[in-house]
Amino acid sequence: MLTKEPETIGELRALRDSKILYVGIGNVLKSDDGVGVYISRKIKNNDYVSSLAAEVSIENYIGRINSLKPDILVIIDCMDMKTEPGKSRLLPLNKVMDLTFNTHNISVARLADFFPMPVFILGIQPEHIDFGEKISYLVKKEADKLINLINLK
């Protein structure tokens, strides 16, 4: 049970006895929208950290996520937070507006209804979500920084 909601990846990492599952969502064919999948594929699994790349269909992974029984679920996605490209924030899912993005089949904020554990979203501000497989420089730079923080031993 969380006594205080973590606000950064560093604070989340400090919860050493918690199993954290990172799930990357997004469309890898729409530039920065694929950043969540990019990050989740680079996470090194260990006893306390694991990851899944759900891409655009996280609803197909609800049973699998629940069967893994993580203590904390972190959904990684690009998210328009009205900030500069590449900025990231860790937010409890209940603080995210109830929006269904064009690349998702289900509202991100509604996901909490399907999981018994605390759910957070690691949102990264996109620069663009046009068709293309390349993540923009600033978004990739932030993604690589987050990957390094998550993978620290």
Q: Tell me how far CA of residue 77 lies from CA of 3, 22, 42, 114, 146, in angstroms.
A: 25, 10, 14, 18, 12
Is residue 3 assigned to a domain?
no
Q: Is 125 left (phi over 0), alpha (psi -120 to 50) or beta?
A: beta
Count of domains forming the chain? 1
* pTM listed for this prediction: 0.89
Q: How confident is the model at residue 4 (pLDDT cuts 50, 70, 90)?
A: confident
Q: What is the mean pLDDT of residues 78-103?
A: 77
Q: Directed axis angle between helix 137-151 and helix 35-42, to 10°?
A: 30
Specify the CATH number for the domain of residue 108. 3.40.50.1450
For the record, the structure tokens of 78 come out as: 């690009």
Is residue 71 assigned to a domain?
yes
The pLDDT value given to residue 3 = 67
Range of 27's domain? 9-151
The pLDDT value given to residue 66 = 96
User: Is residue 19 over pLDDT 60?
Assistant: yes
User: Is residue 151 over pLDDT 60?
Assistant: yes
The pLDDT value given to residue 109 = 61
d(C-alpha 90, C-alpha 30), whole Å: 22
Residue identified by tokens 């996605």 is: 77
**What would the pLDDT profile of 107-135 be if each residue is shown by its tens digit?**
666 777 899 999 999 999 999 988 988 99
Is residue 1 assigned to a domain?
no
Is residue 69 assigned to a domain?
yes
The pLDDT value given to residue 138 = 97
Residue identified by tokens 């890898």 is: 28
Comparing CA positions, the residue from 111, 109, 112, 59 lying closest to residue 79 is: 109
